[in-house]
Structure 1
Amino acid sequence: MRPLKAGDPPFVGGYRLLGRLGSGGMGVVYLARSTGGALAALKVIRAEYAADHGFRARFRREAEAAEGLTGRWLVPVVAADPGAGEPWLATAFVPGPSLAEAVTLHGPLPVRTVRALGARLAEALTEVHAAGLVHRDVKPGNVLLALDGPRLIDFGIARTGGDTALTASDVVIGSPGYLSPEQARAGAGPVGPPSDVFSLGCVLAYAATGRRPFGTGTPAAVVFRTVHEEPDLEAVPQALVPLLTDCLAKDPAARPTAREVCEALAGESGQDGDWLPPALPRLIAERSAAVLALPDPEPDPATLLLPPERPALSRRRLLTLGSAAGVVVTGGGLAAWAAGRTGNSGGGTAGRPLPRYAVGLHADLSGTGRAVGRAQERGARLAVAEFNSRADRAFDLTLTVRDDGGQAKRAEAVAEKFVADRTVYAVIGPTGDASSTKAVVARYERALLPLVTVSSGTDAFTALLDRVFFQLRPEEGNLSTALIYYLTDNAKSRRTAVIDDRAAGRLGWEIVKDLTDWPPSEGTTTSHEVPAASADFGPAATAVLAAEAQAVVYAGDSPHRGALCARALEQAGFKGTRMATEPVLQSGFLTEAGAAAEGWVFGTSYVDPARLPAAARFVASYRKRFGVRAVEPFAVEAYDALLFVAQGLRALGAAGVERGAMVQRLRASTYKGLAKTVRFDAATGQFHWADGLFLHRVENGGPRFLGRYDKVGRT
């Protein structure tokens, strides 16, 4: 909420104005309190628009349409005066953010919440349609989230079936990305209830994925895809896909009714008070507390002399209000204003909104590396929430997520979008393999947009030539250092054997070379080859025993071939230490190797935060928010990376935040994260890789974190 301006009236229609919630070209929305103490969002139309007969008629229709609806999931109009010099309308003030704000701040909603959201919005639309109305602007900004359920707001462009629009002909009315194909084709024919069902399908797809089903871009491009292309439902949970596919049919007659959507979702829609993920009730509570601190209304001096003038519409619902912050709409339903955070919400100067900076996440969320991408998205979202909860922050953060599917071509397209988005000051990722990283670094470099990766271990770039590339982990070739340390300090192997898997390429060659050049315990190392075309590791295992090796290192990068190696060693009866590096430590290795995987030790670039006392709060929040028992690899590393970027933004200050300055600031920074300390060599600019080497050992069928490679067994 912003303070009232000098020209704002203290009272409108018996309501005391407390502050500004938003403003647009057509009017201003105020937070107001009635003489009875109830809060309301009060929309006042500017005089120049009120002078237009058509506009005033449309505003009157909005008030009359909304006032006649009484459904639980609709926001009631409690008072209005369309005939005033500056027409105004007051609605209930709903406790909670808009769906758009909730997804921006906290990410996609869980399936349970999406089902509840869809069932209740469909119920609201059922009443709208039963009254002979079509809402025509169902979108995330027009859905408010309260503790007991969502509320559908803004009937500024609603009208009865068959009504003609109070606008010029061939004008598209609605919000691109959420309007139906029949809305998008101006003048194509009547727009009826099926149009709202289509928009509801778009809203639910957005709620479940954080992405619009017809993409982003210019309004013309989005409208074209809406009319001519199929929706992108790839990231939508499978349980929701059939229903959303039906809702998004191009033919209005092929779509279900709002009542049918409600019935399809109502069976698993959750209970009142337990339908939201944990972070959102907390946000609602914070905003409720802020509203409770507002001053009591003072009486309007005019009402002390004259009886109050009855508004054009009933106030019979006034005592049912009393609520907290939300999002309200200006401009007769054509534009939405999302309430920004203010200094009073925990940071900045009282009454002034905090600046907001975006950090991008360039992730594989739908390809073979989607598990790592999803873990990093979760970690980054927790970091955003943690940063935005700090009372002393000078700005707010948002996270913009884009999926490249683990494909180099798509990665290039994602990079182009981030480069073009001038609100993004750094990008975390790519989360996929080295091919995605190699495809995009040059594009980020040209734009001087910092690219911070925590899981891609490529050695193709240097900080001296690729200034924007911040690799917060060792290169994969450096992982052998952790093996040598362990074999020297813990296993004390004097005779070490390396199984050289020729299918591994460069990584295998580097492991063999390192173990040969620097044999553990200053002993000896023997190498035993397995041809790339062979799946038989038996001869190599037999050779290991013949060499009387005390330890074996698998020099490869394949979980499948690593499992073949583990089984061959077990069948040969080898009892010594067995080791490999991070690329092998995947679920495939554990499943295929079975009991033969027990005891294997791996050099990795990630930690298990559950084994770090300093990360206890992160782990608890992660488990609660995402409903998992274990924190996945690279989640806490992404959390650290985002807060590392936030530290750079803070160091620059509001006046100096720009991409090129961020590159320089980050390279000169040191950040002590939960997983590791982030710092860069003063001479080369490279990440201090020794801070990012760790060890895991397979115990009881899963990896157990041992600690930093040079600390294991020393504490």
Structure 2
Amino acid sequence: MRPLRPGDPLSVGGHRLLGRLGAGGMGVVYLARSAGGTLVALKVIRAEYAADHDFRTRFRREAEAAGGLTGRWVVPVTAAEPAAREPWLATAFVPGPSLAEAVTLHGPLPDRTVRALGARLAEALTEVHAAGLVHRDVKPGNVLLALDGPRLIDFGIALSTGATALTASDVVIGSPGYLSPEQARVRAGGGGVGPPSDVFSLGCVLAYAATGRRPFGTGTVAAVIFRTVHEEPDLDAVPWTLVPLLSACLAKDPQARPTAQEVRDALTDGVDEGEGGEGGEGGNGDSGSGREPDWLPPSLPRLIAERSSAVLSLPDPDPDPGLGPGKGQGSGSGSGSGSGTLVQPDVVREPSRPALSRRRVLTLGSAAGVVLTGGGLAAWAAARSAAGRDGSAGSGPLPRYVIGLHADLSGPDRATGRAQERGARIAVSDFNSGAFESGPDDSRPNGSGSGSAVGSGSRGTRSPHDSRDGRQDRPFDLALKVLDDAGKAKRAEEVAGDLVADRDVYAVIAATGAAATAVAVSRYEKALLPLVSVSSGADLFSTTATRAYFHLRPDEYALATPFIHYLTHVEKSRRTALIDDRAASRTSWQIVKDVSAYPPSQGTTTTHPVPADSEDFDPVAAAVLAADAQAVVYAGTSPHRAARCARALARAGFRGTRMAPEPVLQTAFIEEAGPAAEGWVITTTYVDPAEVPAAARFVETYRKRFGVRTVERYAVEAYDALLFVAQAMRELGGVEPERGALVRRLRGTTHRGLAKTIEFDPVTQQFRWVNSLFLHRVENGAPVFLGHYDKVRKP
């Protein structure tokens, strides 16, 4: 919310204006207080648009359409004056975010929340359709999240069944990405657009809520509309339990879609209707009051509570001495100089208190209007109580700083990108709720110890047990801005440019592949915007060439270390065979070079090259047996070629230790090698968090929130990376962070993460990679995490 501007009225239709909720080309939405003290969102249309007869007719229709709906999940209209010089409409106020904002800030919603959201929106649409209306603009921005459930808003383009749309003939009615195929085809008249169109839009909204992405992608309006009309939706990331229903909602044929009532019935089985209550808005019962908003993930009730607190603590505006009977004190039903007119102040008042800084201000609600229910009052009281536990005077919102996530979410590395997005989102939620944890004291999965509180220059993040509400020593909140580069270099450069230009972004977590990273790094470096990478395969830029690039992964020259240690201390090999796969070029060369220079057990090594253009590993396998080798290190990076090597060794009868580097450990290797993959030991730079005791809560949250059984690789590493950045921001002190200062602070910050300790050598400024090398072994057709390479013992 922002302060009133010079020229803004003090009062509209008897409502005292408190501030601006939003503004656009057609008008302004204000937060206002009615004569009876009720908070409302009041939309005022500019006079130049109101002069258009068709526009005024449409606005009158919005007021009439919304005013005739009384359902629980529809925002009620409290007053309106379509005949005023500048028409206005007041709706009840919901202090929660829109669905679009909630997903942007906190990521996809869990399956349980999506089902509750869908059931209640379907109920709202059932009422809309029973009233003979079609909403025609069901989208995330028109869904507000309250503690007791969602609210469907903005009936500005609602259409009575059989009515004619009041638009130009070349205007598509609806929002691309959420409109139905029939909406995309019908540019005027509204014919053929009925209730099934809203069901299609609802399917798009629920797919977005479950995945954070539109089912028909992004891009130009023409491209999105084409995919909507001609292509199938992308539901790959949607929880499997929702796929059949959403597929039916998104059928191209309107007659093949379920009704809104059928959608509600299908989703109600998975929704406990007691959650959020049946007692109505502001009811007296526990369920109706919204005191148990179990339908929402933990991060969102807190956000709603903060906004409720911020709004309800606003001071009443000073009375306008010139405001008397006939100057805006009526109920909003009059005209002329009475209650329906705008009251323009003779003197522009200064805000009653200093305006908050741009980054401390909370955006309240959306541009359409909102309901402050009993749940909102309860949240406000809880927020005031929580903020006062430590005796602090302030209970206002904390400043919110943004961290970017530059990821491949739709290209060849989308699995890694999605995992890192999920891990980063959990980190943001944990930081904002005070539930973030630190790893064991020795930073290794098999170690012991517990986290300690963060102090000035401390070596780890605070355990959630150190503070009851997480606010006591947290000076700011975080938000995540996610952009997809699709694994393309050109798009990666554009994404980097977008994040660099956003001055609210203080650091970026990079989840892209090496090619995209190489293109993007220079953009971040020029802007001195910290770039943290946890999965890039190579150190593309040294600290002598860059200052802002933080590579939290061992480089190629470190990959030989686990091989040498394991074959010296676990499976002692005096004669080690190195298979130099020339298709891997530099990586294979580096491993062979290092292992040859420091042979395991101080024994001997033999090198056996395989040409890049050959997939015949039988000669190499025969040479390994002839050398009487006790262990083999495959130095390539191809899962397919590694599988051929494994099968050749098995056919030759080799029974010694077999090892390979991280790129080999893919499903393709295990499936193609079959039984020959059993027993292979692979060195990796990531952990299996399910086998790390310190990460137990992270694993539970991840599985529940995203509906998966296995936490994907690099998810917990991204979690650690984001909290590493957050810790450095905290260590800057109480001042607002600055990019250059954060670059310097990160090099001196040590963060004890769940997967590993993140720290940099004070002399070389290089990442201390020794904490980041682990071993897996293939057992019964699946990789089993063994732990940090120097903690593994022979079974």
- TM-score bracket for the superposition, by shorter chain length: 0.7 to 0.9
Contact 2:661 2:683 in 1 (8 A): yes
Q: Cα deviations across residues 614-635 of structure 1 (Å, max 9, x unaligned)?
A: 2222122122222333322111
Change beyond 3 A, Cα 1:186–1:580: closer
User: Which of 545, 551, 573 pairs up with 1:465?
Assistant: 545
Change beyond 3 A, Cα 1:662–1:257: farther
Gaps of 5+ in 1: 299-307, 314-324, 334-338
User: Which of 480, 493, 504 pairs up with 1:412?
Assistant: 493
**TM-score (norm. length: structure 2):** 0.70
2:411 is the alignment partner of 1:395: no
- Which segment is superposed worse, 135-144 or 263-272? 263-272
2:457 match: none
Contact 2:617 2:645 in 1 (8 A): yes
Aligned CA RMSD, in angstroms, stands at: 4.9
User: Which of 647, 650, 660 pairs up with 2:727?
Assistant: 647
1:532 match: 612
What secondary structure does 2:584 align onto?
A: coil
Q: Cα deviations across residues 531-572 of structure 1 (Å, max 9, x unaligned)?
A: 333333233223222222222111111112222222232333
Matched residues in 1 for 2:258 and 2:333: separation?
Answer: 32
Contact 2:405 2:510 in 1 (8 A): yes
2:298 match: 282
Change beyond 3 A, Cα 1:212–1:663: farther
Change beyond 3 A, Cα 1:546–1:45: closer
Matched residues in 2 for 1:186 and 1:475: separation?
Answer: 56
Change beyond 3 A, Cα 1:127–1:656: closer
1:430 match: 511
Matched residues in 1 for 2:532 and 2:509: separation?
Answer: 5
2:587 match: 507
Change beyond 3 A, Cα 1:210–1:654: farther
Change beyond 3 A, Cα 1:31–1:186: farther
Change beyond 3 A, Cα 1:72–1:279: closer
2:687 match: 607
2:31 is the alignment partner of 1:26: no
1:565 match: 645
- Which segment is superposed worse, 445-454 or 240-249? 240-249
2:619 is the alignment partner of 1:617: no
Change beyond 3 A, Cα 1:346–1:327: same
Change beyond 3 A, Cα 1:630–1:363: same
What secondary structure does 1:280 align onto?
A: coil
1:336 match: none
1:366 match: 410
Contact 1:28 1:45 in 2 (8 A): yes
**TM-score (norm. length: structure 1):** 0.77
Matched residues in 1 for 2:590 and 2:528: separation?
Answer: 32
2:421 is the alignment partner of 1:377: yes
Matched residues in 2 for 1:667 and 1:115: separation?
Answer: 44
Counterpart code for 2:271? D
What secondary structure does 1:527 align onto?
A: strand
Counterpart code for 2:779? E
Alignment of 1:659-674 (within 5 A): 659-674=739-754
2:353 match: none
- Which segment is superposed worse, 95-104 or 385-394? 95-104
Residue 491 of structure 1 deviates from its aligned partner by: 1.8
2:69 match: 69
Matched residues in 2 for 1:162 and 1:154: separation?
Answer: 18
Change beyond 3 A, Cα 1:23–1:634: closer
1:556 match: 636
1:494 match: 574
Q: Cα deviations across residues 630-651 of structure 1 (Å, max 9, x unaligned)?
A: 3221111000111112223333
Change beyond 3 A, Cα 1:84–1:714: farther
Contact 1:425 1:658 in 2 (8 A): yes
User: Which of 576, 586, 589 pairs up with 2:669?
Assistant: 589
Residue 69 of structure 1 deviates from its aligned partner by: 1.3
Matched residues in 1 for 2:41 and 2:586: separation?
Answer: 66
What secondary structure does 2:511 align onto?
A: coil
Residue 589 of structure 1 deviates from its aligned partner by: 1.6
2:342 match: none
Matched residues in 2 for 1:534 and 1:582: separation?
Answer: 22
Matched residues in 2 for 1:700 and 1:170: separation?
Answer: 62
Counterpart code for 2:591? I
**Alignment: residue pair count:** 672
Residue 288 of structure 1 deviates from its aligned partner by: 7.9
What secondary structure does 1:503 align onto?
A: helix
Residue 667 of structure 1 deviates from its aligned partner by: 2.6
Alignment of 1:117-266 (within 5 A): 117-118=117-118, 120-135=120-135, 137-145=137-145, 150-156=150-156, 158=158, 160=160, 162=163, 189-190=189-190, 193=194, 200=202, 203-212=205-214, 233-234=233-234, 237=237, 260=259, 263=262
Counterpart code for 1:29? L
What secondary structure does 2:784 align onto?
A: strand
2:400 match: 356
Residue 527 of structure 1 deviates from its aligned partner by: 1.4
Counterpart code for 1:467? R
Matched residues in 1 for 2:550 and 2:582: separation?
Answer: 31
What secondary structure does 1:515 align onto?
A: helix
Q: Cα deviations across residues 141-186 of structure 1 (Å, max 9, x unaligned)?
A: 3213457753212335546575776x99999997676678999999
Change beyond 3 A, Cα 1:528–1:706: same
Gaps of 5+ in 2: 277-292, 317-328, 335-361, 371-375, 435-470
